[in-house]
């Protein structure tokens, strides 16, 4: 797309991304694809070049070709990679692939996050969902109404905190969202805002925000260190076998190495954020789409009634709830919590006929893939869970959890949590649209938000 001398696309990106950078950037890519047919385009960010991809075949080449061609490396990113040293540091999500800290933590944590691993924590997840329902009934009252957004945040946060780290933050006992969650979300919001500015401009124009980001990051890291120290104290040692325990006691099966305390804190923070934010967003979006599409909601309610009825929810039920699975997937297609992925080219190379220099950041536009008419057909904007009966139109047409070794480790965890929560929710409550509300307009089938 057309650009300014020296500044390149900086002005356009800033204009687009003022409110919500990654979503806006993804939407811009989608617009370029729809209006001008661009499935690959470049961005010049004050002299730093970025390649944006929304072509499923090229995305497949990036994720499935020679694993040494592309990597996840935040050092090469002009989008705030340097800021991570204050907050998530070398947590699984933000650490570079070639850093041994990723390989060690990944190998230790892959088993508790497998299908078998998460199956073992289903009873604990059901308990959290029961606590959610109890708290909602207590606070909302019979026949009362509430907005769902705060509740899904509470559910997602308590679930990862209790099921993963054996620590409750008391979210169901208090009406307000826990201050730790607020601080954590502030950290991520600041990362997003500060990351839009090149470092030299950021230091001039965002001094105050930068300082508050550094302070909030220190505060949430302190809480994680306290959780770790509490667990290490003798009296708590025996009673758990959760993620935190695995991080503290298990050794990497390949090297025999254990995770350092610093790495455990990085990952505690990573799980507390990655485990709640996207899951809460996904559940809220799914409820919005179901409100906007009453026939889908009715079909789902029928399925829950037929499969689970009044029985105790079990693992076998979850596998039988096929329409629920489609509703969750269709939501993740239309409203993927992460709309972009970042990779870098490790060397000078050619990708689908395009010259790609070494160390160039590549943005994979998940939103544009999920909204591609070529892949999904003319009804691409509509919420139609039934489309999943036909399977995927292309292996890389749907990637809310990414692909390859850096794909979401919490995939099975979140899918189980969403299913458990939706079943328990609909066994006790109903959802309705609030006409004219922003969420209502997003979910009415014609807008990408």
Give the residues lining the site for ligand HEM (CB under 6 A): 72, 92-93, 106, 160, 270-271, 274-275, 278-279, 282, 337-338, 341, 400-402, 406-410, 413-414
Q: Strands 70-71 and 48-53: what pairing? A: unpaired
The token duo for 333 is 């297609």
CB of 159 to ligand HEM, least distance (A): 8
- Distances in Å between the Cα of 264 and the Cα atoms of 60, 108, 219 are 33, 11, 16
CB of 200 to ligand HEM, least distance (A): 26
Find the radius of gyration of the CA atoms of the chain: 22
Q: Which is nearer to ligand HEM, 71 or 212 (CB)?
A: 71
CB of 146 to ligand HEM, least distance (A): 22
322: number of CA atoms within 13 Å, CB side?
A: 6
Q: 10 Å Cβ neighbour count for 324?
A: 23
**In the bound complex, which residue of the shown chain has the CB atom lying closest to ligand HEM?**
410
CB of 407 to ligand HEM, least distance (A): 6
Q: Which is nearer to ligand HEM, 72 or 424 (CB)?
A: 72
Q: Which is nearer to ligand HEM, 209 or 394 (CB)?
A: 394
CB of 325 to ligand HEM, least distance (A): 13
Q: Which is nearer to ligand HEM, 293 or 331 (CB)?
A: 331
In angstroms, the CA 343 to CA 402 distance is: 11
Q: Which is nearer to ligand HEM, 26 or 409 (CB)?
A: 409
The token duo for 123 is 């009873």
CB of 353 to ligand HEM, least distance (A): 25
Q: Which is nearer to ligand HEM, 10 or 157 (CB)?
A: 157
Among 207, 203, 220, CA closest to 265: 220
Q: Which residues pair with 362 in a beta bridge?
A: 51, 343
Under 8 Å between Cβ of 71 and 96: yes
In degrees and rounded to multiples of 5, residue 401 shows phi and psi of -105, 15
CB of 162 to ligand HEM, least distance (A): 12
Q: Which residues pair with 71 in a beta bridge?
A: 344
Q: Which is nearer to ligand HEM, 160 or 423 (CB)?
A: 160
Which positions ≥6 away from 288 have C-beta within 8 Å?
439, 440, 442, 443
């Amino acid at each position: 797309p057309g650009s300014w001398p020296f500044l390149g696309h900086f002005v356009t990106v800033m204009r687009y991304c003022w409110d919500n950078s990654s979503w806006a950037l993804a939407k811009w890519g989608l617009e370029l694809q729809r209006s001008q047919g661009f499935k690959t385009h470049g961005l010049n960010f004050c002299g730093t070049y970025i390649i944006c991809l929304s072509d499923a075949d090229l995305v497949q080449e990036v994720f499935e070709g020679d694993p040494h061609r592309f990597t996840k490396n935040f050092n090469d990113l002009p989008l705030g990679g340097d800021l991570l040293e204050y907050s998530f540091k070398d947590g699984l999500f933000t650490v570079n692939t070639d850093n041994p800290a990723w390989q060690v933590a990944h190998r230790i944590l892959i088993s508790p996050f497998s299908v078998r691993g998460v199956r073992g924590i289903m009873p604990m997840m059901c308990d959290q969902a029961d606590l959610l329902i109890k708290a909602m009934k207590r606070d909302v009252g019979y026949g009362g109404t509430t907005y769902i957004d705060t509740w899904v945040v509470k559910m997602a946060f308590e679930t990862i905190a209790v099921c993963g780290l054996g620590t409750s933050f008391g979210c169901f006992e208090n009406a307000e969202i826990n201050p730790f969650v607020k601080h954590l979300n502030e950290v991520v919001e600041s990362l997003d805002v500060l990351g839009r500015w090149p470092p030299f401009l950021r230091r001039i124009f965002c001094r105050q925000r930068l300082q508050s980001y550094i302070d909030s990051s220190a505060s949430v890291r302190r809480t994680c260190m306290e959780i770790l120290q509490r667990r290490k104290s003798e009296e708590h040692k025996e009673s758990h076998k959760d993620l935190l325990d695995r991080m503290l006691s298990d050794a990497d099966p390949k090297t025999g190495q254990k995770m350092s305390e610093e790495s455990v804190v990085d990952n505690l923070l990573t799980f507390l954020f990655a485990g709640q934010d996207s899951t809460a967003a996904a559940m809220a979006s799914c409820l919005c789409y179901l409100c906007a599409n009453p026939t889908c909601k009715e079909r789902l309610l029928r399925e829950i009634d037929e499969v689970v009825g009044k029985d105790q929810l079990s693992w076998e039920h979850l596998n039988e709830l096929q329409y629920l699975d489609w509703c969750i997937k269709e939501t993740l297609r239309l409203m993927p919590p992460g709309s972009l992925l970042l990779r870098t080219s490790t060397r000078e190379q050619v990708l689908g006929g395009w010259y790609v220099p070494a160390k160039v950041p590549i943005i994979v536009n998940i939103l544009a893939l999920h909204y591609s008419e070529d892949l999904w057909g003319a009804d691409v904007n509509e919420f139609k869970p039934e489309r999943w009966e036909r399977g995927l139109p292309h292996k890389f047409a749907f990637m809310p959890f990414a692909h390859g070794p850096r794909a979401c480790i919490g995939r099975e965890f979140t899918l189980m949590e969403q299913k458990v929560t939706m079943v328990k929710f609909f066994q006790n409550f109903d959802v309705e649209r609030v006409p004219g509300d922003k969420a209502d307009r997003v979910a009415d089938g014609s807008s990408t938000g």
